[in-house]
Amino acid sequence: MSAVAIEARPARRGSISRDRKKAMYWSYFFLMLFVLFFLTPPLYMLIMSLKTSGEIAEARFPWWVFHPTFDNYWSLLGSENFQNFFINSTLVSLSTVVVTMLISIPAAFSLSRMKFWGSATLAAGVFLTYLIPETLLFIPLFKIFSWVTEFTGIELVNHWWVLIFIYPTLTVPFCTWIMIGYFASIPKELDEAALIDGAGWLQLLVRIFIPVALPGIIAATIFAFTVSWADFLYPLVFTTSADQLVLPAGIVTTLIKGDVFEWGRIMTAALLGAMPPLLIYAFLMDYYIAGLTAGATKG
C-alpha cells in the first residue's frame, strides 16, 4: 500500500471549543448579574449597619462608610429586648423543626412506601395545602384560637410558643412533599431486603430509611428552620408584647417608632438575624442540594 499523507485540516470556525467559550462568557455575564442583584441588599445593609445615625441622616454617599463604628452592634447585643427576640426565635424555630420532622417523616414514608387506598391523592393534597398563602390563613387561625380560648379558657394569643403550633401549617406540607420525592428515589429492593431480614415498618423507617434519606431530611430541616426563623406575618399577628416577640416582628415593632426609623440598628438587627440561617446553609449546603435534586438524578 502506498503511504497517503493526511493533511491537518485547519480548525473550523464555530468549533466545539469556541462554542463552549462563548457559552462560558455568557454564563459568567449572567452569573455576575445575579450575584450583583442578590448581594447588593446585604452589602447595603452591612454598610448602613456600620454608620452612625448622624452619617445616615447626612445621606452624603450611601455606598461608603466615612466613620465606621460597631456601636449599633454593641447596643443591640447588649439590649435585653433583642436578646429576648433571639432566644424566642431560636426556641420557636428549633421546636418547629422537631414538630415538623415528627410529622413529615412518618407522613412521607407512609405516602411514598405503604401503598394504601387514596395515598396518591393524599400526597397531592399535601402539596396543595402548601399553595394556600398564610395571608389567607391567619384570619381563620385567629378565629380558631378565639374559640379555643372561649371553650377551654386557655389564652393562645400573645405567647411565643403558640407559633410552634402555627408554623407547621407552613412547613409540614412542603417538607412532606420533598421527602416523598426523596424517599421515592430509594430503591424499593432496600425495603424488601429489610422486610425479609425481619424488620417491621417502624424498624424499616428508623434503621434504614432515615439514615439513607438523611440528605433529604436535612434539606427539609433547613427549609423548616428558615421558614420559621424568617416568617413575619404570623408573629406580627399573634404576638404583641415585647417579651413574647420573635426577631422579624420584634425588629420592626421596637426599632420603628411611629415615623422614626432607626435605620442603623434595623439593618444591624436584620444582619444579625440572618446569621444563623446563613451559617446553617454554609455548612449544610451540599446536603441541601443533594436533597432537593435527588428525585431528578437517581433512578
State the residues that interact with another protein by CB under 8 A: 187, 189-190, 192-200, 203, 207-208, 211-212, 214
Q: Which is nearer to another protein, 143 or 207 (CB)?
A: 207
Take residue 121 and report the three cell numbers written for it.
391523592
For residue 115, the minimal CB distance to another protein (Å) is 12
For residue 194, the minimal CB distance to another protein (Å) is 7
Q: Which is nearer to another protein, 210 or 237 (CB)?
A: 210
- What's the CA angle centered on 48, arms 250 and 30, to 5 degrees? 100
Q: Which is nearer to another protein, 33 or 206 (CB)?
A: 206
- Residue 25 to residue 32: CA distance in whole angstroms: 11
Helix (H) or strand (E) holding 227: helix 214-230
Among residues 219, 220, 242, which one has the least CA distance to residue 288? 219
Instruction: Print burial letters for 153-182: b (CB count within 10 Å at least 16), e (below 16).
Output: eeebeeebebbbbbbbebbbbbbbbbbbbb
For residue 73, the minimal CB distance to another protein (Å) is 43
Q: Which is nearer to another protein, 156 or 290 (CB)?
A: 290
Q: Which is nearer to another protein, 206 or 278 (CB)?
A: 206
For residue 175, the minimal CB distance to another protein (Å) is 21
For residue 124, the minimal CB distance to another protein (Å) is 21
Residues ≥6 apart with Cβ < 8 Å to 159: 239, 244
